[in-house]
Structure 1
Amino acid sequence: MRRIPLLAALILFSVAPSFAKDRHSGNDRASFGSDITVAEGETAGDIACAFCSVHLHGDVTGDVAVAFGSVTVDPGHSIAGDAAILEGDLNLGEGSTVNGDLAILAGSDRLGEGSAVHGSRAVIPQPLGTLVLFSPLLFLAGLIWLIVYIVRRSSYRFPVYPQGQGIQAPPPPPH
């Protein structure tokens, strides 16, 4: 009796992805370490890139996400979705647009004449952005140091000196 609801749930979850609608043309691109270039007259869907740069000579109908790289948009072209850049820059040519939101951590945005970001824009520049990026690692390193310090302090027996810190007092002067 328990198998029927389990079987129904299994069928529902296996068939559900076929009903999902893709909002893009399926021309998505992803790369790790090598640059992505959208040619003139070409249209791309979502773009994801790590340790590389994105050069847009055409349009993007989805979002752009770049980690440790930059995004360059030629004049007159657009990004229809959001743009998120970590440790990199956004260079918009003249008349280029980002129709969604823009988020840049540890980087900058260089907007050309007549270019625009239609959504909200959050840019945290280089020194502060790097600190924000690595602050969880700094906190974790401090926590590990504190634990090691407490364990070493509790397991080490300090010697007891008769005169305090191991320095013998000079003998008293004769009278």
Structure 2
Amino acid sequence: MTDPNNHGLSSAAQRQLLEYWQKICRERRMPTRQDLNPLAIKELLPGICMYDVIREKKLGSDYLNFKARLVGTDIVDTIGKDFTGSLTGETHNGPSCGLSGVERTLAKVTRHCTTAYETCFMDWPDKNYRRFSFIAMPLSLNGEVEQADIILLGVHFFGYEEEIARSSDHLLPCQA
């Protein structure tokens, strides 16, 4: 994971979302869902995802899963599917590796209650490779700042020109 505080974010929208998240933290580890005002970030909503954290015990171990609470229209248009309401494991009928990378990062953000920034690629069956990046930020439901209940993502899909310009960047592997 890359430290998002190094300002290496790939889009202005991601930087704006991170700055907003930091502002509503108000010196806490993370803000609550109630702190988040969609009207304050209205222009960023098309590139945002929110995932509910689902905690389960399986075979004596803590198991995390994630359910898409909100999927922005830019994301739906790019992927070609609205996966709102779906668990992350149920969304793998499109591009092959990107979502597993997102799921791994969601788990890290949940467990450590911190932000994370990733750049990955998706192997689209009918397109060339397509890179995307995301900044992931935890939110609490009830003000209990020791537990992340929702993960807020700002997603950026690279256009062809950006793809060429950033071709020297390192890609993080998206497969476990």
TM-score of the aligned structures, taking structure 1 as reference length: 0.21
Who wins on radius of gyration, i.e. which is larger?
Answer: 1
TM-score of the aligned structures, taking structure 2 as reference length: 0.21
Higher-helix-fraction structure:
2
